[in-house]
């Protein structure tokens, strides 16, 4: 089975505490909501302590055009994406030696927070010495599910081409979509959750001689399942307007998870002749504290199984598609022979992506 060999993060330079962002939101939204202090409890209840952004707080205090924000997205996506790729292929935690760029057969680039044509990996190929024949597979619009979906598509690619070495590059600059003049509750909640970040994973096929692999045990992808709920387009996503991307974020997401996720997971695991009780590592995208709580209730799992996801949420916030790779990296550092893992992420559609992992 295809294996995940290396994962690396690229963290933006600007750090804001949750209190700083809350004060910013209070100043901006106080005239729009009479009960602003009650609504601001979302910043505290979410258990996020800090987040990283590609711009400092002053940048967000003045209006920016869609063009200005998208140009900033392209510029910073190239910087962070290049850093994530280099860190992944030169990673001393997971690799015995650096892997040459020209050995990469395909790059899956995952992002939903900006628009670029040519796509971001084409621009990064002018920064790093990839083969000119490397296949480019940009994927846009999967939101928070994108990181897990990218791993699934890379798995399928490596099944078809067992000698392949593939990168999954996730880049999300959610802050650059912020709309100062959108005084909706969705925008306020989004302001309390979302952040910027990038990550890159290396996936290889069965027939790759992995003399560069450092860890004795790495997760193999045993199988995947993609599911889209019918008639659920209004649960999350973007509404495209003249000023750019406006967040769509339903308050019903936690309850939807509780009712929908368990049968979805049960069906997937039983198709692999497994039960949730056999899973050692729950590699979950932490969409927010309420989402993590919904995972626990829906799947009836011990709170300890979501600690790693919660730790990533506390330290980085919700970086959309990139977040699950931050969680995966931490599990790769502690996983051992015979461990099993379930990776899961939810996104627009409304959709879920599941991956079954086995360390071997």
pTM: 0.94
CA distances from 240 to 10, 217, 226, 228, 260 (A): 28, 44, 25, 22, 28
Contact assessment for residue 8 and residue 200, using Cβ atoms and an 8 Å cutoff = yes
CATH superfamily of 3-204: Thiolase/Chalcone synthase (3.40.47.10)
Burial class (CB in 10 A: 0-12, 13-18, 19+), 336: exposed
Decide: 345 and 285 in contact? Cβ < 8 Å.
yes
By the 8 A CB rule, do 3 and 221 touch? yes
pLDDT value of residue 53 = 97
| Residue 251 pLDDT | 75
Beta bridge partners of 9: 199
Concerning whether 144 is annotated as a catalytic residue, the answer is yes
| pLDDT for residue 241 | 85
Domains of the chain: which residue ranges? Answer: 3-204, 219-359
Q: Can you give the three-state secondary structure of 177-227, one letter per residue?
A: HCCCCCCCHHHHHHHHHECEEEEEEEEECCCCCCCCECCCCCEEEEEEEEE
Neighbours of 275 (CB within 10 A): 10
On whether the CB atoms of residues 104 and 198 are closer than 8 A, the answer is no
Closest CA to 18 of 246, 296, 288, 292: 288
Give residue 208's pLDDT: 93
List the structure tokens of 282.
């729950």
- Residue 77 is predicted with a pLDDT of 98
144, 158, 174, 200: the catalytic one is: 144
**Regarding beta strands 196-204 and 165-173, do their DSSP bridges make them parallel or antiparallel, or are they unpaired?**
antiparallel
Q: Do domains 3-204 and 219-359 have the same CATH topology?
A: yes
**pLDDT value at residue 284:** 95
242-295 residue pLDDT tens: 888 878 877 777 778 877 888 899 999 999 999 999 999 999 999 889 889 888
pLDDT of residue 179: 82
User: What integer pLDDT is reported at residue 281 of this predicted model?
Assistant: 96
State the SS3 of the chain.
Answer: CCEEEEEEEECCCEEEEHHHHHHHHHHHHCCCCCCHHHHCHHHHHCCCCEEEECCCHHHHHCCCCHHHHHHHHHHHHHHHHHHHHHHHHCCCCCECCCCCHHHCCEEEEEECCCCCCCCHHHHHCCCCCCCCCCEEEEEECCHHHHHHHHHHHHHHHHHHCCCCEEEEEEEEEHHHHCCCCCCCHHHHHHHHHECEEEEEEEEECCCCCCCCECCCCCEEEEEEEEEECCCCCCCEEEEEECCEEEEEECCCHHHHHHHHHHHHHHHHHHHCCCCHHHCCEEEECCCCHHHHHHHHHHHCCCHHHHHHHHHHHHHHCECHHHHHHHHHHHHHHHCCCCCEEEEEEEECCCEEEEEEEEEC
- CATH code matching the domain that covers 219-359, chosen among 3.60.15.10, 3.30.365.10, 3.30.56.10, 3.40.47.10: 3.40.47.10
Counting as low any pLDDT under 70, the low residues of the chain are none
Q: Output the pLDDT for position 245.
A: 83
């Amino acid at each position: 089975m295809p294996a995940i060999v290396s994962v690396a993060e690229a963290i933006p330079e600007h750090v804001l505490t949750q209190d700083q962002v809350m004060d910013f939101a209070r100043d901006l939204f106080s005239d729009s909501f009479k009960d602003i202090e009650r609504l601001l409890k979302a910043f505290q209840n979410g258990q996020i302590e800090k987040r990283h952004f590609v711009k400092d707080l002053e940048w967000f205090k003045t209006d920016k055009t869609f063009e200005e924000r998208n140009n900033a997205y392209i510029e910073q996506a190239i910087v962070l994406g290049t850093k994530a790729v280099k860190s992944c292929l030169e990673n001393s935690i997971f690799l015995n030696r650096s892997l040459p760029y020209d050995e990469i057969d395909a790059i899956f680039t995952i992002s939903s927070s900006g628009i670029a044509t040519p796509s971001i990996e084409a621009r990064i190929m002018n920064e790093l010495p990839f083969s000119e024949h490397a296949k480019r597979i940009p994927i846009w619009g999967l939101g928070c599910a994108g990181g897990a979906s990218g791993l699934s598509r890379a798995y399928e690619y490596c099944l078809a081409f067992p000698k392949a070495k593939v990168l999954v590059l996730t880049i999300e600059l959610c802050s650059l979509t912020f709309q100062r003049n959108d005084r909706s509750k969705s925008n306020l909640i989004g302001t309390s959750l979302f952040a910027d970040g990038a990550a890159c994973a290396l996936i290889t096929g069965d027939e790759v001689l992995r003399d560069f692999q450092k860890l004795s045990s790495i997760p193999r992808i045993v199988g995947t399942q993609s599911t889209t709920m019918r008639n659920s387009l209004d649960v999350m996503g973007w509404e495209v307007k003249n000023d750019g991307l406006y967040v769509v974020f339903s308050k019903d997401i936690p309850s939807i998870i509780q009712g929908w996720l368990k049968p979805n997971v049960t069906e997937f695991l039983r198709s692999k002749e497994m039960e949730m009780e056999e899973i050692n590592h729950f590699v979950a995208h932490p969409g927010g504290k309420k989402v993590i709580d919904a995972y626990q209730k829906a799947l009836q799992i011990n709170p300890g199984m979501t600690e790693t996801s919660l730790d990533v949420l506390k330290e980085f916030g919700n970086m959309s598609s990139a977040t699950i790779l931050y969680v995966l990296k931490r599990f790769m550092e502690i996983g051992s022979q015979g461990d099993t893992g379930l990776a899961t992420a939810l996104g627009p559609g409304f959709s879920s992506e599941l991956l079954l992992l086995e360390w071997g």
